[in-house]
């Protein structure tokens, strides 16, 4: 079997990392991979010898030239199936190129935003199957008029071994200027409105008063950076909430956190929450999108309704007051990450979809 993958992301963020793992796993199973990606993109080097790589110009939704570029590659490589992994134009132009060549195509969908009920059925008609990373995303597609029989759920994976690290308290406290007795909560998300930072910040003053050992680190980058930076500087936060920026060493950071908080309004799945669980860190998160599929109450975390600030406050208050509960949920997260969200499970899930399409 030969699979041609299209990943339009330039940086090795969550979705692109899944594509790297998928290519590696497929190669180990005897599948021949071809990867088409933007020129000078991180994934080109990361995929290594597990795929034949074509770096081409891919500049977004208005770059209709992607279609003839892909057609030339498809004519040369003659894959059995085309798998489009991202948006930024690829989800339309990749499907059109595959349709022109008469090659079956699959689209992966990682986000839960709604699409036009007029245009979505036309786009998804280009694909034999749509792979979603959570059942919640599948429900959004069905509500938008997409045939449910085309939708397959294959959840994202986490490299549990990479997050099986011990805490390094001295380094952590020095790195982020924290007191030695701190119970530190981490928020790991883009600094954009739908990630729900405001709900946590609204709840924090009371929580800081009740728990003198509490510290909060907000990781990430995005358009809300200036607004959030100004807000956490207010006296009500007592200098105990810090903007920690974007970090590429989360595997080292996670074991030092008391818990991870994710009050998002929308979320496809939440790979950072899986990483936290694999690190043995409990998660307190809103029941948004696919989050209830990976954060299970009394197993690896505590969930609350979207925008429910009293519910968020109560969950954090209970967790901060009970170290034993924290440890129990952390251990449950490690088990869950290894049993339900392994890389092998993700690879096998995609492979089953390929085989189903080709067999039909």
Residues 6 and 143 in one domain: yes
Tens-place pLDDT, residues 255-272: 999 999 999 998 888 889
Residues 352 and 327 in one domain: no
Instruction: Provide CB contacts within 8 A for 64, sequence distance 6+.
Output: 93
b/e per residue, 12-40, with b = 16+ CB within 10 A?
bebbbbbbbbbbbbbbeeebebbbbbbee
* Bigger pLDDT: 173 vs 120: 173
- What is the model's pLDDT at position 182? 95
Residues 316 and 350 in one domain: no
Residues 190 and 256 in one domain: yes
pLDDT above 80 (res 60): no
- What is the model's pLDDT at position 269? 83
d(CA 176, CA 197): 20
Domain span holding position 253? 160-340
The angle subtended at Cα 139 by Cα 347 and Cα 358, nearest 5°, is 40
Residues 182 and 308 in one domain: yes
Residues 146 and 176 in one domain: no
Domain count across the chain: 2
pLDDT above 80 (res 311): yes
Tens-place pLDDT, residues 102-149: 999 999 998 887 877 778 888 899 999 999 999 999 999 998 889 999
Residues 268 and 134 in one domain: no
Residues 189 and 237 in one domain: yes
d(CA 259, CA 272): 12
Residues 270 and 292 in one domain: yes
DSSP letter at 194 equals G
CATH code (residue 218)? 3.40.50.2000
Residues 284 and 312 in one domain: yes
- 59: phi then psi, degrees, rounded to nearest 5: -115, 20
Q: Which residues pair with 245 in a beta bridge?
A: 219
């Amino acid at each position: 079997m030969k699979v041609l993958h299209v990943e339009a992301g330039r940086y090795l963020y969550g979705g692109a990392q899944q594509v790297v793992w998928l290519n590696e796993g497929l190669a180990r199973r005897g599948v021949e991979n071809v990867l088409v990606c933007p020129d000078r993109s991180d994934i080109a080097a990361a995929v290594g010898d597990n795929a034949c790589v074509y770096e081409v110009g891919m500049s977004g939704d208005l770059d209709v030239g992607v279609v003839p570029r892909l057609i030339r590659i498809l004519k040369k490589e003659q894959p059995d199936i085309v798998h489009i992994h991202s948006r930024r134009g690829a989800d339309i132009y990749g499907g059109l190129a595959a349709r022109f060549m008469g090659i079956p195509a699959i689209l992966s969908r990682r986000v839960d935003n709604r699409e036009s009920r007029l245009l979505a059925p036309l786009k998804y008609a280009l694909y034999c199957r749509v792979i979603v990373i959570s059942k919640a995303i599948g429900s959004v597609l069905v509500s938008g008029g997409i045939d449910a029989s085309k939708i397959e759920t294959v959840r994202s994976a986490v490299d549990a071994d990479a997050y099986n690290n011990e805490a390094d308290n001295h380094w952590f406290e020095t790195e982020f200027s924290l007191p030695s007795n701190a119970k530190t909560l981490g928020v790991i998300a883009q600094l954009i409105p739908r990630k729900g930072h405001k709900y946590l910040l609204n709840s924090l003053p009371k929580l800081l008063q009740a728990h003198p050992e509490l510290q909060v680190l907000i990781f990430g980058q995005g358009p809300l950076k200036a607004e959030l930076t100004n807000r956490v500087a207010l006296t009500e936060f007592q200098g105990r909430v810090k903007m920690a920026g974007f970090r590429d060493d989360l595997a080292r950071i996670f074991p030092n956190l008391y818990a991870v908080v994710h009050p998002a309004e929308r979320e496809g799945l939440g790979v950072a929450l899986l990483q936290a669980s694999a690190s043995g860190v409990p998660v307190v998160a809103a029941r948004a999108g696919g989050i209830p599929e990976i954060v299970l109450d009394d197993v690896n975390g505590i969930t609350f309704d979207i925008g429910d600030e009293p519910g968020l406050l109560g969950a954090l208050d209970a967790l901060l007051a009970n170290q034993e509960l924290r440890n129990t949920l952390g251990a449950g997260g490690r088990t869950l990450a290894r049993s339900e969200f392994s890389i092998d499970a993700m690879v096998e899930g995609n492979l089953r979809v390929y085989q189903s399409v080709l067999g039909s």
